[in-house]
A and B are shown apart, each in its own frame.
Chain A
Amino acid sequence: MIWILGSLAAWAALWWVNTRIAASALAERRAGRVAAPLIFGLAMLIVWEGLVRGFEVSPVILPAPTAIAAKFAASLDVLWIDFVQTFVKGALTGWVIGCGAAVAVAVLIDRSPFLKAGLLPVGNFVAALPIVGIAPIMVMWFGFDWQSKAAVVVVMVFFPTLVNTVAGLDATDRMHRDLMKTWNASYWQALVKLRLPAAMPFIFNGLKIATTLALIGAIVAEFFGSPIKGMGFRISTEVGRLGIDMVWAEIAVAALAGTSFYGAVALAERWVTFWHPSQRGGR
């Protein structure tokens, strides 16, 4: 009982702190913008811990955060193997190939209005389809190892990136293109110096969508067959063995990997498109 009341009191106290931060001048500064979500996350963890202990929830159903952290620290080697198998080999390889191919194809079809008019609606349509469904087919074609996972990721990230890049290459003003022409810039010069930089905000939009899709694709494909390592494999086997704390440790890895992957792309975006209004300070 003391755990439940204690955790709820801690929640209330931390919420009050956040209200103070929101009302103060801190909310406009970076420190407040970082601190508030961190405090909220901490409050969630405290309530989780308190409720699990207070209601004496069996660890087979829902382990406490401290138990998950202990399991995480104790099985770093296994988690690392799974991380390399699923994230580095499956998701990252597929993401690089898929996004690279999408940008290349976008630049190629950009020269032909006919192809663009034909491929864009098809691409938009395919981007709305549940492409995860090709996972079993890719596993059949490319085997159980990471190649099939990368293949699923390639197809999943290709269309959103393609559609965004094509839209981005159209984003230059008439004036800018005319200016390039008055300088007698060749097609490639105009592409590299004007149109690709102008397309970058759109391309990064696609790349960011692709990061979350990449991890989903890589993990889903493991449900259809995998070698005896990988995050999806570990999750499905540990659920069967009632090793729920290991499952949560694996979820923590997936969450960390997904968030830092997204964060890394967002940082790269800030670095590349520093000139764009959305990136200039004071938002």
Chain B
Amino acid sequence: MRRVLPVLVVTLAIVVIWYVAAVWLNSAWVIDQAARAGREPSFMDILRGTMNQDRPLLPPPHQVLAELWELTVEKRITSKRSLVYHGLVTLQATMLGFVVGAILGVALAIGIVHSRTMDLSVMPWAIISQTVPIVAIAPMIIVLSNAVGIEGRTVPKTIISAYLSYFPVLVSMVKGLRSPEREQLDLLKTYNASRWQTFVKLRLPASMPYFFASMKVAVAASLVGAIVGELPTGAIEGLGARMLIGSQFGEPMIMWTALFAAAILAALLVVAVGIVQALAARAMGQVAR
């Protein structure tokens, strides 16, 4: 309770600030409408008028939640407006990119740990690759994969997701594979263990906590990649595409619901990874932190 209470208070404060801001931002429209009708709006009129506009500058929380409920639970999944449908499209690219990124990150880390040459020449470029804004490259990835004859947008989105998510895995795995101590490595040497045996029996198990710690970061990054990948493609499916459509047609509610759906998806993914992490830690006999 002592840990939950401050979080609740802060969350409540955010909601209150949000309502105040919504009234403040949306009131201009109400006052303007009333002025055109030649009326002087009372404070209660303004208050009521700001709570449920069609195109609010800032929709109040209950309006966003109501819209979200309608678009997820009440709409059929096959509907073009259903956020479950668009969320699944984004989720698919996210998971593909996440898997590809994790495999790539682990593979590169294994190479870097075992080859001094790769450590020297590849690792700096891995760092540089993350300072290059992926959104600049995203349109090119789409053009290139179209040129190679790949239809659809799943592949370019997957590549962008993987580009963002491989890096945290790589960094953590390099650290994890190097985490066995000198004595442990020496012990395996006295057993005459081959490089492969050392890797499978010592380095890999030792790296697992690092691996799972990087998964949460990687899955969040992967979702950002999938959403960003939907922006410059002219995609019509996916949460990023909904945001773009809402922006182009001047429909704030579409943008807000897509944003919230993306946030909920991110939270679910992080929680899911946390559960897998706890299960794996227990299976490996480690105490979950």
Q: Which of A115, A118, A262 has the most CB of B within 10 A?
A: A118
- Asked whether any CB of chain B lies closer than 8 Å to the CB of A220, the reply is yes
- Asked whether any CB of chain A lies closer than 8 Å to the CB of B182, the reply is no
- Asked if B11 and A133 sit within 8 Å, CB to CB, the answer is no
- Asked if B132 and A259 sit within 8 Å, CB to CB, the answer is yes
For B216, the chain A residues whose CB sits under 8 A away are 128
- Asked if A219 and B10 sit within 8 Å, CB to CB, the answer is no
For B263, the chain A residues whose CB sits under 8 A away are 129-130, 133
Query: Please, how many angstroms separate the alpha-carbon atoms of A41 and B126 in the complex?
Result: 11
Q: Which of A39, A125, A129, A215 has the most CB of B within 10 A?
A: A129
Chain A interface category by residue count: 35 or more
- Asked whether any CB of chain B lies closer than 8 Å to the CB of A122, the reply is yes
For A227, the chain B residues whose CB sits under 8 A away are none
For A40, the chain B residues whose CB sits under 8 A away are 121-122, 125
Quote the shortest CB–CB distance from B61 to chain A (angstroms): 14
| The residue from B6, B119, B144, B239 contacting A117, defined by CB atoms under 8 A apart | B6
Query: Please, how many angstroms separate the alpha-carbon atoms of A259 and B120 in the complex?
Result: 18
Of the listed stretches B194-202, B206-214, B242-250, B281-289, chain A binds B242-250
Of the listed stretches A16-24, A162-170, A189-197, chain B binds A16-24
Binary contact readout B118-137 vs A (1 if CB under 8 angstroms, 0 otherwise): 01111111001011111111
- Asked whether any CB of chain B lies closer than 8 Å to the CB of A48, the reply is no
For B14, the chain A residues whose CB sits under 8 A away are 122
Quote the shortest CB–CB distance from B111 to chain A (angstroms): 13
Task: Count CB-based A-B contacts (< 8 Å).
Answer: 165
Q: A224-B244, A235-B139, A239-B143 are in contact. Are A261 and B131 (CB under 8 A)?
A: yes
- Asked if B134 and A216 sit within 8 Å, CB to CB, the answer is yes
Query: Please, how many angstroms separate the alpha-carbon atoms of A39 and B140 in the complex?
Result: 25
Chain B interface category by residue count: 35 or more
- Asked if A61 and B143 sit within 8 Å, CB to CB, the answer is yes
- Asked if B10 and A122 sit within 8 Å, CB to CB, the answer is yes
For B9, the chain A residues whose CB sits under 8 A away are 114, 118
- Asked whether any CB of chain B lies closer than 8 Å to the CB of A105, the reply is no
Binary contact readout B222-253 vs A (1 if CB under 8 angstroms, 0 otherwise): 01100110011000000110011011001010
- Asked whether any CB of chain A lies closer than 8 Å to the CB of B7, the reply is yes
- Asked whether any CB of chain A lies closer than 8 Å to the CB of B57, the reply is yes
> Nearest chain-A residue to B137 (Cβ)?
A251
* Interface set, chain A 14-41, CB cutoff 8 A to B: 15, 18-19, 21-23, 27, 32-33, 36-37, 39-41
- Asked whether any CB of chain B lies closer than 8 Å to the CB of A76, the reply is no
Of the listed stretches A136-144, A173-181, A273-281, chain B binds A136-144
For A32, the chain B residues whose CB sits under 8 A away are 120
- Asked if A62 and B125 sit within 8 Å, CB to CB, the answer is no
- Asked whether any CB of chain A lies closer than 8 Å to the CB of B166, the reply is no
Quote the shortest CB–CB distance from A58 to chain B (angstroms): 8
- Asked if A21 and B136 sit within 8 Å, CB to CB, the answer is no
- Asked if A39 and B258 sit within 8 Å, CB to CB, the answer is no
* Interface set, chain A 42-80, CB cutoff 8 A to B: 61-62
| The residue from A130, A219, A225 contacting B224, defined by CB atoms under 8 A apart | A130
- Asked if B144 and A140 sit within 8 Å, CB to CB, the answer is no
- Asked if B7 and A251 sit within 8 Å, CB to CB, the answer is no
- Asked whether any CB of chain A lies closer than 8 Å to the CB of B3, the reply is yes
Quote the shortest CB–CB distance from B10 to chain A (angstroms): 3
- Asked if A223 and B232 sit within 8 Å, CB to CB, the answer is yes
Quote the shortest CB–CB distance from B11 to chain A (angstroms): 7
Quote the shortest CB–CB distance from A25 to chain B (angstroms): 12
Complex A-B: 16 CB contacts under 8 Å:
A23-B116, A61-B144, A119-B10, A122-B11, A136-B244, A136-B255, A140-B255, A212-B133, A216-B134, A219-B135, A223-B244, A232-B135, A236-B139, A244-B143, A255-B132, A259-B132
Residues of B within 8 A of A (CB): 3, 6-11, 14, 57, 115-117, 119-125, 128, 130-137, 139-140, 143-144, 147, 216, 220, 223-224, 227-228, 231-232, 239-240, 243-244, 246-247, 250, 252, 255-256, 258-259, 262-263, 266-267, 270
19 further interface pairs, Cβ-Cβ under 8 Å (given A41-B125, A122-B7): A18-B120, A27-B120, A40-B125, A61-B144, A62-B147, A116-B6, A130-B263, A132-B228, A136-B255, A216-B133, A219-B135, A220-B228, A225-B247, A235-B139, A247-B139, A247-B140, A254-B133, A259-B131, A261-B131
Q: Report, nearest first, the 3 A-B pairs whose CB atoms are least far apart.
A: A118-B6, A118-B10, A40-B121
Residues of A within 8 A of B (CB): 15, 18-19, 21-23, 27, 32-33, 36-37, 39-41, 61-62, 114-119, 121-122, 125, 128-130, 132-137, 139-141, 211-212, 215-216, 219-220, 223-225, 231-232, 235-236, 239, 244, 247-248, 250-251, 254-255, 258-259, 261-262
